[in-house]
Amino acid sequence: MSDSDNKTSFGAYGGQYVPEALMPALEELEDAYERYVLENEDGFMDDFRARMREFGGRPTPLQRADRLSERYDCEVYLKREDLVHGGAHKLNNALGQVLLAKYMGKERIIAETGAGQHGTATAMAAAHLEMPCEIYMGRTDVNRQRPNVYRMRMNGAAVNPVDTGRGTLKEAINATLRDWSKSVETTHYVIGSVVGPHPFPKMVRDFQSVIGTEAREQIREQAGRLPDSVLACAGGGSNTMGAFHAFVGDEDVGLYAVEAGGSTLEIDEERGVAPNSATLSTGTDGVLHGAMTKLLQSGDGQIMESHSVSAGLDYAGVGPELSYLVDIGRVTPVSVDDEAALDAFHRLSRLEGIIPALESSHALGYLERAAGPAADDASGQRPRAEEHENLGDLVVVNVSGRGDKDLETVLEETEKRDLEAAPDVEVFDR
């Protein structure tokens, strides 16, 4: 259903908007994707699945969240991608691509990283598969994500700081594309999300689709039926497409892409800043990093600086397939702001004993907004507000990663706010 007439695109989205020098590499990659991933040539997919089982810890559980179920008056199940090796769903894609590069006879891996989650997953996969690996990371991110930089170095990857622009994910992608355009004959670029030129959006989706494939089987077994809705946070959209893909054909299952509302959805056109990363909710069509998709951009077409308290959602673009699924009405884009995400971070930690990534906390934040006690009370609608009604009685939330990496940010951001679910930390001397 998500595939349209042209195999390089999703309706009007996708395509291959890259310098000519990269086109032969994309053709080569497309051929390898079709043979190894789609047709399991040389047992590639068997090898991949075995490694994800033994090295990666798959399958991950689908867990009924008892306190959340009670709070939201519906069955809430959590897909525990935070339990994948490395602490997030990122390894599903990184290991798939590094292994594919190996099957293709490439000698070197490069990757971009924002907060460092994709970089650390790629470095782990490269160490596991003995591939030389270089990670590009914006200077600002290098400075604020020191533990992740160290993790990558420990796994043997080189980390190249990028000094241009604001020094974040967008600049890191630009730098990696530049490296690739000179090293393309020997090097594979492990892109970190369902973005970029074809075949990356489809290939990354396929590596991540194990999330939804497992969850779909597990929910049928554990709850006896398909869910009414699936919630996943959306930045570039790799955990989103990973969670949704298996359900796209199940038309009664609502799919909610929860974006980062940042501090506000208002755009500051003059400064070229969007204080959010709600691309699906507010973006307009354009071309960035090789694909036609929805973007946060100025009227002239300059890409905006995006923002989210969660570095992993902080990107001005989004996967083209998500743009397409939103346009045809199959995926519903919603957003929650920094504050709601932080609150949800604390709530899951407190109620269920699971510290979620700030990214995943957005999906949980939406559940609170739609189905939390305030939602129904404030609107005066009992027993359920409209958004709550839409989510239904059986909800799967993808916990895309664990939140240990976010503790510093959360400490800092929680102090500035009066959050309902935050713990009392008077124990610290001030």
Partner 1 sequence: MTTDSDIERAIRENHPALIAYITAGDPTLEETAEYVEALDRGGADLIELGLPFSEPIAEGPTIQAAINRSLEAGTTPDSFFELVDDLDVEAPLLVMTYYNMILQYGSEPAVEPFVERAADAGLAGIIVPDLPAEESEPLREACEDHGLDLVFIVAPTTDGERLETIMSQVSGFAYVQARLGTTGARADVSGATHDSLTRLSEYDVPKAVGFGVSEGDHAAEIVEAGADGVIVGSALVDLIAEKEGPATALEAKAEELKAGARRGAEDVPEPEQP
Q: Does 4 sit near partner 1 (CB under 8 A)?
A: no
**Candidate residues 10, 11, 15, 368; the one interacting with partner 1 per rule CB under 8 A:** 15
Going by C-alpha positions, the residue among 237, 249, 229, 259 that lies closest to residue 397 is: 229
Q: How far is the CB of 185 from partner 1 (least distance, A)?
A: 7
For the CB of residue 418, give the shortest distance to partner 1 in the complex, in Å.
Answer: 37
Asked if residue 146 binds partner 1 (CB under 8 A), the reply is no
Alpha helices (H) in 129-168, listed in sequence order: 139-144, 146-154
Q: Per-residue x/- mask for partner 1, residues 264 to 293, rule CB under 8 A?
A: --------x-----------xxxxxxx---
* Residue 292 or 354 having the CB closest to partner 1: 292
DSSP E strands: which ranges in 5-61? 9-10, 13-14
Residue 104 CA to residue 362 CA, distance in Å, equals: 37
176 versus 349: smaller Cβ distance to partner 1: 176
Interacting residue with partner 1 among 45, 78, 121, 177 (CB under 8 A): 177
Work out the burial of residue 298: count CB atoms within 10 Å of its CB; fewer than 13 is exposed, 13-18 middle, 19 or more buried.
Answer: middle
For the chain, the C-alpha Rg in angstroms (whole number) is: 20
Minimum CB separation of residue 27 from partner 1 in Å reads 8
State which residue, 165 or 392, has the beta carbon closest to partner 1.
165
Minimum distance from residue 275 beta carbon to partner 1 (Å): 17
Tell which one of 10, 13, 18, 83 touches partner 1 (CB under 8 A).
Answer: 18
Query: Would residue 400 show up in a list of annotated catalytic residues for this protein?
Result: yes
Q: Measured between alpha carbons, how far is residue 394 from residues 1, 108, 219 in Å? A: 24, 45, 9
Q: Quick one: which of 1, 302, 383, 424 contacts partner 1 (CB under 8 A)?
A: 302
- Is 405 a residue of the active site? no
Minimum Å gap between C-beta 13 and partner 1 is 11
Does the protein bind partner 1 through residue 25 (CB under 8 A)? yes
Query: Catalytic annotation on 379?
Result: no
3-state class (DSSP) for residue 136:
strand
Least distance to partner 1 from the beta carbon of 7, Å? 12
Edge-first strand order for the sheet with 394-399 is 62-64, 75-80, 394-399, 229-234, 254-260, 331-336
Least CB distance from residue 23 to partner 1, whole Å?
5
Of 90 and 106, nearer to partner 1 (C-beta) is 106
Check 294, 400, 405, 413 and give the catalytic one: 400
Among 191, 296, 303, 326, binds partner 1 (CB under 8 A): 303
Q: Which of 301, 393, 420, 425 binds partner 1 (CB under 8 A)?
A: 301
Q: Which residue in the set 32, 68, 123, 184 belongs to the binding site for partner 1 (CB under 8 A)? A: 184
Around Cβ 43, how many Cβ atoms within 10 Å?
11
Tokens standing for 225?
């039926």
DSSP three-state, residue 399: strand
Selected from 10, 11, 16, 371, the binder of partner 1 by CB under 8 A is: 16
From the list 30, 75, 81, 112, the catalytic residue is 112
- For residues 403 and 349, is the Cβ–Cβ distance under 8 A? yes
- The answer to whether 390 contacts partner 1 (rule: CB under 8 A) is no
CB 157 within 8 A of CB 122: yes
Query: Among residues 30, 81, 90, 321, which one is catalytic?
Result: 90
Q: Which is nearer to partner 1, 45 or 274 (CB)?
A: 274
Residues in a beta bridge with 135: 111, 159
- The CA-based angle 168-408-411, given to 5 degrees, is 125
Question: Would you say 152 or 326 has its CB closer to partner 1?
Answer: 326
Using CB under 8 A, which of 224, 299, 353, 383 touches partner 1? 299
Q: d(Cα 362, Cα 355) in Å, to the nearest integer?
A: 13
> What number of chain residues touch partner 1 (CB under 8 A)?
37
Q: Which of 332, 46, 13, 64 is nearest to 196 (CA)?
A: 13
Q: Distance between alpha carbon 62 and the CA centroid of its chain, in Å?
A: 18
Burial of 418 (0-12, 13-18, 19+ CB in 10 A): exposed
Strands (E), 225-314: 229-234, 254-260, 284-288, 291-295
Question: Which residues lie near partner 1 (CB under 8 A)?
Answer: 8, 15-21, 23-25, 164-165, 170, 174, 177-178, 181-185, 272, 284-290, 295, 297, 299-303
Kindly list the catalytic residues: 90, 112, 400
